[in-house]
């Protein structure tokens, strides 16, 4: 039975984890991951194989959290790329990374935003497969 492979990315005030091999996991493993995320008031997105938790912890703390939660998972650290570090310069999400924006807002921006970050928004939509 394969172990879940968690790719950890630290965001501004939260962290995101991509489960690289979600399709190879059995139902029990997926339920364990969902419970892990739910207990921490996180959001699990099956479309992108990711979960986000609104807590700022580093990679070492995340590894310890996974270990103490009895999840048998491999944890990999993935720092943000320059493209992912772009921040919103306007509106209610000013200062947030584009990668942290809710799906609904990034879709709204695609149709309504005409500024210099249009390409960043399009790349984010493509990355999320929206």
Are 87 and 124 part of one and the same domain? Answer: yes
> Which residues contact residue 88 at a Cβ distance below 8 angstroms, ignoring those fewer than 6 apart?
94, 95, 96, 97, 98, 101, 117
Are 47 and 97 part of one and the same domain? Answer: no
Q: What would the mean pLDDT of 100-113 be, rounded to a whole number?
A: 89
Predicted TM-score (pTM) of the model is 0.64
Alpha-carbon span 82 to 75, nearest angstrom:
22
Give the DSSP letter string of 11-51: -SSSEEEEETTGGGS-HHHHHHHHHHHHHTT-EEETTTTEE
Domain ends where: 59, 77, 95? 77
Contact between 17 and 59 under an 8 Å Cβ cutoff? The reply is no
Are 31 and 62 part of one and the same domain? Answer: yes
Q: What would the mean pLDDT of 99-110 be, rounded to a whole number?
A: 89
Q: What pLDDT shows up at residue 83?
A: 58
Which residue range is the domain that position 114 belongs to? 82-128
Rg of the Cα atoms in the chain: 16
Domain count for the chain:
2
Are 11 and 70 part of one and the same domain? Answer: yes
Are 38 and 69 part of one and the same domain? Answer: yes
- Mind listing the pLDDT tens digit for each residue in 56-101? 899 999 999 999 999 999 999 987 665 567 888 888 888 888 888 8
């Amino acid at each position: 039975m394969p172990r879940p492979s968690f790719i950890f990315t630290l965001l501004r005030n939260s962290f995101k984890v991509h489960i690289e091999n979600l399709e190879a996991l059995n139902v029990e493993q997926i339920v364990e991951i969902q419970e892990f995320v739910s207990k921490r008031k996180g959001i699990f997105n099956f479309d992108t194989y990711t979960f986000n938790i609104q807590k700022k912890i580093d990679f070492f703390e995340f590894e310890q959290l996974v270990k103490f939660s009895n999840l048998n998972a491999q944890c990999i650290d993935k720092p943000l790329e320059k493209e992912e570090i772009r921040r919103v310069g306007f509106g209610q999400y000013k200062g947030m990374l584009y990668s942290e924006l809710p799906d609904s807002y990034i879709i709204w921006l695609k149709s309504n935003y005409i500024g210099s970050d249009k390409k960043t928004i399009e790349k984010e939509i493509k990355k999320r497969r929206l």
